[in-house]
Structure 1
């Protein structure tokens, strides 16, 4: 297989593995065996190894000497660390977006929010949110900060958002989660951001902290 085809296939396997981890199909701490994954995804071990390396770069997998790769563990301290950094960095990225974003950025935010509002939120027979809503939710938060002119800040916020998604899926079992008006929170973010209202940064911080509080209230983290 040529280098370009290997890279393309590694990207495909990475995307599948990432989705499986974020959905919880691959549980926190679960071993990621090269041979088993190669057989499952009909890919070479070198392709799987490259995909796992990318996951490790984004803190969704870890490589332990003599043990190989495994899905990253979850913990209360890790969630608090992720939230603290997201509030700082994603808030600053949003501030940059409001300063530098043009009408195309505004349209992207409004469009992403439109899709999010119309996505099916939950299903009665499945835990957590639907994949449709999770994808739309991710796209909306990406759109909010997409006009940020600091590429490294954006890369960090994207990595932190992936790590946070592992925890967000746990929030569905929280009573607080079911009591929240999450659509209203997203609508507020869309309206404040596109109005270039500085209070959008505080609204984002509240939104992120509420999800963290929901996860902590489940008692699932040590």
Structure 2
């Protein structure tokens, strides 16, 4: 394998692992991302880690500040509300367009993606958040719903926003369970309404699905802290503070 190809592969692996750890909550919101520590963990150079973090920054999962380096994007009420407003506009628009342009092949792909999601356990028993397998199946289902809209730039924006929102969804999941939320019922309703071509009802179901996650976090009387010891970005799910 040419050296350039090997470097790309190393960067991709580092990117995927860090992304997975952020979305699963193993790298805490607001916590520092130390180049040397991550390079040692993945057995790669710091330049490889830096490239991976720059890619994650482009997707809104990582922030970078002069003289302070990289951090996992912190959670905030203002950011959550802004993110939700954008998703409600763009993702609902993409769903309506997808249903309008869809064919039988799209219908089969939506049903198949839902089938996988419905049969993938949410928890892996190792942490309160969703498992990597469920997170992947969840993203694939939502991708399938909007895939037929025929607007690549819109789809790229929708996926980027959903990636960023995934950090919030991971924190909202355990809170939603305590409040009796049934995401399986929500996903089945989305699948059935979309494949039945009931556009207005499907869009409203998606709108409610997205908004419910936001409402759960904003209504929660969160009294903890998102701070992590300076040298340790990793931690388990705990109380969070939306500033």
The TM-score normalised by the length of structure 1 is 0.93
> What is the total number of aligned residue pairs between the two structures?
222
Q: How far apart, CA to CA, are the structure 2 residues paired with 1:77 and 1:177?
A: 24
The answer on whether the counterparts of 1:123 and 1:129 sit within 8 Å (CA) in structure 2 is yes
1:113 Cα offset (Å): 0.3
Q: Which of 211, 217, 220 is residue 219 of structure 2 equivalent to?
A: 217
1:126 Cα offset (Å): 3.2
1:26 partner SS? coil
- Alpha-carbon distance change, 177 to 131 in structure 1, aligned in 2, over 3 angstroms: farther
Greater helix fraction, Structure 1 or Structure 2: 1
Q: How far apart, CA to CA, are the structure 1 residues paired with 2:136 and 2:40?
A: 27
Q: How far apart, CA to CA, are the structure 1 residues paired with 2:126 and 2:132?
A: 14
What's the C-alpha RMSD, in Å, of the aligned pairs?
Answer: 1.7
More deviation, 176-185/113-122: 176-185
- Alpha-carbon distance change, 22 to 125 in structure 1, aligned in 2, over 3 angstroms: closer
Q: How far apart, CA to CA, are the structure 2 residues paired with 1:70 and 1:107?
A: 40
Counterpart of 1:138 in structure 2 is: 139
Counterpart of 1:156 in structure 2 is: 157
Alignment gaps of 5+ in structure 1:
none
1:203 Cα offset (Å): 0.9
Counterpart check, 1:191 vs 2:179: no
1:174 Cα offset (Å): 2.1
Counterpart of 2:43 in structure 1 is: 42
**Greater relative CO, 1 or 2 (CA 8 Å, sep 6+):** 2
The answer on whether the counterparts of 1:171 and 1:214 sit within 8 Å (CA) in structure 2 is yes
Counterpart check, 1:168 vs 2:173: no
The TM-score normalised by the length of structure 2 is 0.86
Q: How far apart, CA to CA, are the structure 2 residues paired with 1:149 and 1:66?
A: 42
Counterpart of 1:90 in structure 2 is: 91
Task: Write out per-residue CA displacement over residues 28-75 of structure 1, whole angstroms, 9 at most, x where no aligned residue.
Answer: 111111111111101112211111111000000011001111111101
Counterpart of 2:238 in structure 1 is: none
2:128 partner SS? coil
1:143 Cα offset (Å): 1.1
Task: Write out per-residue CA displacement over residues 124-179 of structure 1, whole angstroms, 9 at most, x where no aligned residue.
Answer: 66313333222211111111111121111111111110111111111134266541
More deviation, 30-39/118-127: 118-127
